[in-house]
Amino acid sequence: MSNQFRSVREAPAEGKRVLVRADLNVPLSDGEITDDTRIKAALPTVQLLIKQDAKVVLVSHLGRPESRDELSMRPVRDRLSRLLSVPVTLAAGVAGSDVAADVEALEPGQVLLLENSRWEEGESRNDPDLAAALAELADLYVNDAFGAAHRAHATTEGVAHLLPAYAGLLLERELSELGSLRDDPERPLVVVLGGAKVSDKVGVMRRFLDIADKVLVGGAMCFSFFRARGVGTGDSLVEEEGIDLAEAVLEAAERSQCELMLPTDLVIADSFDAQAERKEIDGIEVPDGWMGLDIGPATTKRYAKTIADAGSVLWNGPMGAFEMEPFATGTRGVAEAVAAASGRTVVGGGDSAAALVAFGLDREVDWLSTGGGASLEFLEGKDLPGVAALDAVEKEADG
C-alpha cells in the first residue's frame, strides 16, 4: 500500500531542482499564523531534501486570495525559515521568468518558497500552461500535500505528469495509515462519525458499513437519522437534504453485518449558547424550543466502551458543539476513550483534531490525519488525483 508510489526517499535528488508541493495552508488572523501544524508536518520531506543537497522549490496554496495583493506566503516563509533553522527565500511569484531567475540562484541545500499558487488563476482549473511553467522550474516533483491531493490542480496534479513524480514522506504516511485501516484493519474495527452534516460523511459511512464491525454516530448529523425515523428534533441543527441520505444509510445498515449505533440520550439546551439552560434527557425526542447539542452520558459511556474493546478505531467528527464547554462532554469522552484505546487509533477531520488538541490528547493517538476532505475521499475508496498522478513503483521496472 505505502510502497505503491515512488518515494522521495529513493529520488535522485542530489544537486537537482526539486519542486515540492506541500500543504502550507495555515490559518491566519490579521496576517499572523494561528496554528503552524501544517508547516511542521511538511518539514521532514524538506529536511530530507536539504540533507541530500537538493535545490528545494516549495509551493502551496494559502487561503482563497482574490488578487495578488492578498495572502502572500511571506508569513509562511518566516515561520518555515525559523522552524528549519535555514534561510528561505520568497520567490517573486508562482512561475515565469522572475521566478526562474530565483531558482537559478539556488545553491544545493537551499530552499525557495514560491508565492501562493492561487495567485495564478490557472491553478484551480489545472491549466496545462501553468503546469508546464511549473515543470520548467524543476527536474523532479514531490507531492507531500496530502490535504490537497483530492483536488486536481496544476500544482497537485498537472505538473506531476510532466516531471518524474515522487510521494513525500507525509503523503506516504497518510496513505499507509489510512490505507491499512481501510483495507487491513485489526478487528473489531470501530468507526466513530460525528460533526455537522450527513452529506459530508455519508460516503465514508456507506463504505464502512461494508467493512467495519461497528459504526457509531454522534454530532448534529444524528438528527437527520432521527428525523428519518420520524423522531422530533425540536430546534436542533438538521441538514434537510441529509434526511434521505440517513434513511438510505439506515436501510443499508439493516442489510449489513455492521452494527450502526445511534445515541439513546442527549444533552439539550434552549439556545445555541454556552450560557443557555442545559438539560440531560433520557431519550432522543427533542421538545420544541430546545436543541440537541451533545450526546448524553449513557451514550458516551456506551461509545467509550465500544472504543475500548476495538482492535482499531477511526474517529472523524465531534459528538456535539464541543467549542462550548457545557456541550463538550460527549466529545471529550470519545476523545479520552480513543486516547486510551489499546487498538490502533486514527483521527481525521479538522474539528476532531482541534478537539483533541483542546483536550491535550493529540499526542495520544496513533495517527492524526492532516487531510480533512482528502482523508474522507480516500477512505471512501475514491482515487485522489494528486496521488494517482504520481509514478507507480512498477514503472521503474518497466523503464
Residues serving a catalytic function are: 38, 197, 350, 373
Rounded least distance, CB 350 to Mg ion, Å: 4
Q: Out of 7, 52, 316, 375, which residue is the one contacting ligand ADP (CB under 6 A)?
A: 316
Residue 103 burial (CB count, 10 A): 18
| Interactions with ligand ADP, residue window 280-309 (CB under 6 A) | 292-293
* 293 binds, options ligand ADP, Mg ion, none, Cβ within 5 to 8 A by partner type: ligand ADP
**Which region among 50-58, 90-98, 105-113, 346-354 touches ligand ADP (by CB under 6 A)?**
346-354
Rounded least distance, CB 64 to Mg ion, Å: 16
Three cell numbers, residue 202? 455519508
Burial of 97 (0-12, 13-18, 19+ CB in 10 A): exposed
Q: Does 351 bind ligand ADP (CB under 6 A)?
A: yes
* 220 binds, options Mg ion, ligand ADP, none, Cβ within 5 to 8 A by partner type: ligand ADP
Rounded least distance, CB 220 to Mg ion, Å: 12
**Residue 257, helix vs strand vs coil:** coil
Q: Out of 23, 177, 239, 351, which residue is the one contacting Mg ion (CB under 5 A)?
A: 351
Number of amino acids touching ligand ADP (CB under 6 A): 20
Three cell numbers, residue 346? 486514527
The residue to which cell 462519525 is assigned: 193
The alpha helices in 184-239, defined as continuous H runs, are: 198-211, 222-228
Q: Which residue lies nearer to Mg ion by CB, 326 or 350?
A: 350
Cβ-based neighbours of 194, under 8 Å, separated by 6 or more:
217, 218, 219, 221, 222, 316, 317, 318, 319, 320, 331, 334, 352
Q: Which residue lies nearer to ligand ADP by CB, 113 or 269?
A: 269
Amino acid at 210: D
Rounded least distance, CB 314 to ligand ADP, Å: 12
Nearest to 22 by CA among 7, 40, 34: 40
For residue 88, report the phi and psi dihedrals to the nearest 5 degrees. -120, 125
| Interactions with ligand ADP, residue window 218-237 (CB under 6 A) | 219-220, 237
Q: Which residue lies nearer to ligand ADP by CB, 296 or 372?
A: 372
Q: Does 350 bind ligand ADP (CB under 6 A)?
A: yes
Nearest to 62 by CA among 119, 143, 112, 19: 119
Three cell numbers, residue 63? 487561503
Q: Does 317 bind ligand ADP (CB under 6 A)?
A: yes
**Which region among 200-208, 257-265, 295-303, 346-354 touches Mg ion (by CB under 5 A)?**
346-354
**What is the rounded CA–CA span in Å between residue 362 and residue 352?**
10
**Which region among 53-61, 116-124, 144-152, 348-356 touches ligand ADP (by CB under 6 A)?**
348-356
Q: Out of 203, 287, 297, 350, which residue is the one contacting Mg ion (CB under 5 A)?
A: 350
Three cell numbers, residue 222? 444524528
**What is the rounded CA–CA span in Å between residue 170 and residue 369?**
10
Three cell numbers, residue 108? 544545493
**Which region among 5-13, 27-35, 154-162, 313-321 touches ligand ADP (by CB under 6 A)?**
313-321
**What is the rounded CA–CA span in Å between residue 212 and residue 158?**
35
Q: Which residues of this chain interact with ligand ADP, rule CB under 6 A?
A: 195-196, 200, 219-220, 237, 292-293, 316-318, 320-323, 349-352, 372
Q: Which residues of this chain interact with Mg ion, rule CB under 5 A?
A: 350-351
